[in-house]
Amino acid sequence: MNAALRLSLASLRAHRRRFAGTFLAVFLGVAFLAGTLVMGDTLRASFGSMFGEATGGTDAVVRGADAITAPGEAQGVRRPVDVSLARTLARIPGAAAAAPDIQGAGRLVGADGTPVGGQGPPTLAGNWITDVRLNPYRIAEGRAPARPGEVVVNRGAARQGGLRIGDTTTLRTPDPVRVTIVGLATFGGQDGMAQVTFTGMTQADAEKYLTARPGRAASIQVRAAAGVSQRELVRRLAPALPEGVEAITGRQAARENTDLISGRFLTLFTTFLLVFSGVALLVATFSIHNTFAIVVAQRTRENALLRALGATRRQITATALAEAGAVALTASLAGLAGGIGVAAGLQALFPAIGFPFPDGALVIKTLSLVLPLAVGILVCLGSALLPALRAGRTAPLAALRETAVDTSGASRARALAGAALALGSLAATLTGVLVSPSLRTAGAGALLALAAFVVLGPVAATTAVRLLGGPLDRLRGVTGALARRNALRSPKRTAATASALMIGVAVVSLFTVFAASLKATMDQTVSRSFAGDIAVSTPSYGAGGSGLSPRLAPALRRLPEVETAVGLGRGVAEVNGDGRALTVTDPAALARAFDLGTVSGSLRDLGDDGIALTRTEAGRRHLRPGGRARLTFADGRTDTFTVRAVYDRSELVGDYVITRSAWAPHRTQDADRLVAVTLRPGVGADAGRAAVRRVAARYGHPEVQTREAYARSSAGGIDMMLSLVYALLALAVVIALLGIANTLTLAVHERTRELGLLRAVGQTRAQLRAMVRWESVLVAAFGTLGGLGLGAFLGWVLVKASDGASDTAFAFALPPVRLAVVALAGVLAGALAGLRPARRAARLDVLRAVATE
């Protein structure tokens, strides 16, 4: 074996503990990365097989050829097909059966009166397809619906809602429909299609409640006769299809569904996780670099001896690198195993906490193994490179130096470089925020700010620790003074240790500030745009929920307490060729419940051929009141609309407004997303709310809130996201704390004799422990405060740049309580990180320490 390798293995064996922190940092980072990749692939495969299952018996899908997709929407709206087409298609040679698939939103109300599902996955209702092979659902208990009002519910949804066969409940389509459950269904042997809820009705019911007009279906599913391939079937169906209708194979339909999920949701999900594993690995880099730097410093004498005995620089450097390589390899391999374990664990955990993921075997691709392994080794070796080179430069005559106070950190060159970076960052961010708003310029500035903080760390460490530790001298006497000076001993080391925590805390505060700003933005949106007294809505996320019945607003208007009730419905059309979301409402009443800002023209008489739009959109499309816009609807019809009004604020109302009568010919399944109510003068908010609630109860118990409560709940989802982000960032912070603990342990080892001396002249164990703990707290406080400052600054940059670069007006908010909690948590965590090194230091044998030569 080569000498360098033998030396490094021997030293690893001898100092296993020193590398425990490095091992853990690499392990956690790699496990996070590998877990994310494996989980992404597994979910993608699971969704693939789930959609395969859903269309397993379907050989061809016949549907409207063109889809109109509004920006931000996952799925386009297609023109419906005639139900009668199914009979025609079934008669074509090569087709064994054909059934219309009538689908819409349908949210079940559970036994306790609360809606079932709606937290992301779709809540669907449809016709119960009687052809067993075309229907992915199977009756598990009871029977199929036969009479009006009878439904089959998937078993998972029934369990969630506490519903049993024979129960009668409400289905919001969104008009409330009384339904009786006659059967429970399974999907591919499972209780449902992941967490999707499905309610199967008779075809007549489905046509009645889920479409605007009976006789229309979303698509027609066709099954091939024996010996006819899917492609062949599609070829034979083609001549029988009317214009604007297309046929695709069942496999292609499954693939489209899978792509829809992977392309949007899954990619977003894995990217999100990858970003956080990147943060964790970045933090790990600092911890690892610090460990190696200290180990090399401690080994100066040993390396000097080796150099004196004839070892070359290269050999010493190689020894240090080989050591890092060995740690990297074992930790990365362990991390891979850990990551696969994490993925398996999460897969089991997600359904239990209500995440909408299907299950299936773990998918471990080569990339998921190679990438984390390579990243782990690279991060570890890269972090160890500088210390290893420094080890190689050890002079053979490096004397028996005592560990003196090192102030090398605060060099002039460093201060100048840091100042230059800081100035560059300031220039870039200010340009990106104020001069020509751009997220990219601002982002570059943010990265420069991060670099400036890291470079300036050692310069700032001296001053910061002196200031932070100032009170310690008075509070804790000589113990505090010693802790403070120990933290000041090597500003470079203190800064590197703190930098890891700083980055973690900076990201935490960035998200905290951004979330608070988003909340403030929402609050501002509601308080600026919502002029009503009461809001009626159905909270749901993602594709879930079914909205509000369009009959609710007229019913509320009849109440004596109510002055106006305006519902905002959804529509979609291509405006001059681009898919756009439309708001379908009663424009005349709109201005009474919503503040639209300055309105040019009049919303009063849009009529059947008038449209109103925001000033921004009008400017973009060069439209003015009196101008004309061509709207193409999902049913294929194109109409010319006249611009009758231009308004300022789009926040709640949306960019385009048309009347209900203009939308009526093109409507599909109608739903309002929000009903705004204004009360007559003299009616109290509580009385008004009670009256509205009584009427709303008949329309499936939607949420009835005062204006303030509505503003608060609009921002509710943000807190949930923030908790998730905190959980993900916890790992990076843990790595940073491990780094502090590790640095301290190494420092304690380095100061063995000094600690022994202190003990000999009368420092009690408790005082010694306190001294080490306070040092840890000081380093953590330095990192935390730096992180808070950096995070708040980056948050400001992000908010302001978003504000300038997008249509939405963002408000900036600093949440003082939350940030104080982050600061406190950082400092407390520092105390926690110091516990073990402090205990180890206190266990030190006084005599051995004094006698160590």
Partner 1 sequence: MTTTTPERAAARVADAVKVYGSGDTAVRALDGVDVTFPAGRFTAIMGPSGSGKSTLMHCAAGLDTLTSGSAHIGDTELGALDDRRLTLLRRDRVGFVFQAFNLVPTLTVAENITLPLDLAGRAGDREWIDALVDIVGLRDRLRHRPSELSGGQQQRVAVARAFAGRPDVVFADEPTGNLDSRSGAEVLGLLGRAVRQTARTVVMVTHDPVAAAHADEVLFLADGRLADRMPAPTADKVLDRMKAFEVRS
User: Interface residues with partner 1 (CB under 8 A)?
Assistant: 402-405, 477-479, 481-482, 485-486, 488-489, 753-754, 757-767, 846-847, 850
Tokens of 114: 């609360």
| Nearer of residues 486 and 538 to partner 1, judged by Cβ | 486
Token look-up 């700003």 returns 517
Integer Cα distance of 621 and 601 in angstroms: 17
In 607-715, alpha helices (H): 615-621, 660-663, 685-697, 707-714
| Nearer of residues 349 and 405 to partner 1, judged by Cβ | 405
Tokens of 410: 């605060």
* Residue in 373, 302, 379 with CA at minimum distance from that of residue 338: 373
| Nearer of residues 473 and 609 to partner 1, judged by Cβ | 473
Integer Cα distance of 731 and 728 in angstroms: 6
Give least dist CB 287 to partner 1, A. Answer: 24
* Interior angle at CA 382, CA 378 and CA 384, nearest 5: 125
| Nearer of residues 84 and 764 to partner 1, judged by Cβ | 764
Give least dist CB 747 to partner 1, A. Answer: 12
Give least dist CB 815 to partner 1, A. Answer: 39
| Nearer of residues 319 and 776 to partner 1, judged by Cβ | 776
Give least dist CB 337 to partner 1, A. Answer: 43
| Nearer of residues 566 and 777 to partner 1, judged by Cβ | 777
Give least dist CB 328 to partner 1, A. Answer: 34
How many C-alpha atoms does 462 have within 13 Å on its Cβ side?
15
Give least dist CB 326 to partner 1, A. Answer: 34
Strand (E) or helix (H) holding 580 = strand 578-585
| Nearer of residues 88 and 407 to partner 1, judged by Cβ | 407
Give least dist CB 779 to partner 1, A. Answer: 15
| Nearer of residues 243 and 402 to partner 1, judged by Cβ | 402
Give least dist CB 850 to partner 1, A. Answer: 6
Give least dist CB 490 to partner 1, A. Answer: 11
Integer Cα distance of 852 and 753 in angstroms: 7
**555 contacts: CB under 8 Å, gap ≥ 6:** 695, 698, 699
Integer Cα distance of 421 and 666 in angstroms: 58
Token look-up 């100032």 returns 470
- Strand locations in 479-561 (E): 534-537, 541-542
Integer Cα distance of 192 and 644 in angstroms: 48
| Nearer of residues 480 and 504 to partner 1, judged by Cβ | 480
Listed as own residue / partner, the contacts of 389-394 with beta carbons closer than 8 Å and 24 or more positions apart are 389/317, 390/293, 390/296, 391/296, 391/299, 391/303, 391/316, 391/317, 391/319, 391/320, 392/313, 392/314, 392/316, 392/317, 392/320, 393/313, 394/300, 394/303, 394/304, 394/307, 394/316
Integer Cα distance of 33 and 281 in angstroms: 9
Give least dist CB 415 to partner 1, A. Answer: 23
* Residue 777 and residue 827 in contact, taking contact as beta carbons nearer than 8 Å: yes
Give least dist CB 836 to partner 1, A. Answer: 20
| Nearer of residues 473 and 703 to partner 1, judged by Cβ | 473
Integer Cα distance of 86 and 834 in angstroms: 73
For the chain, counts of helices (H) and of strands (E): 25, 28
| Nearer of residues 369 and 850 to partner 1, judged by Cβ | 850
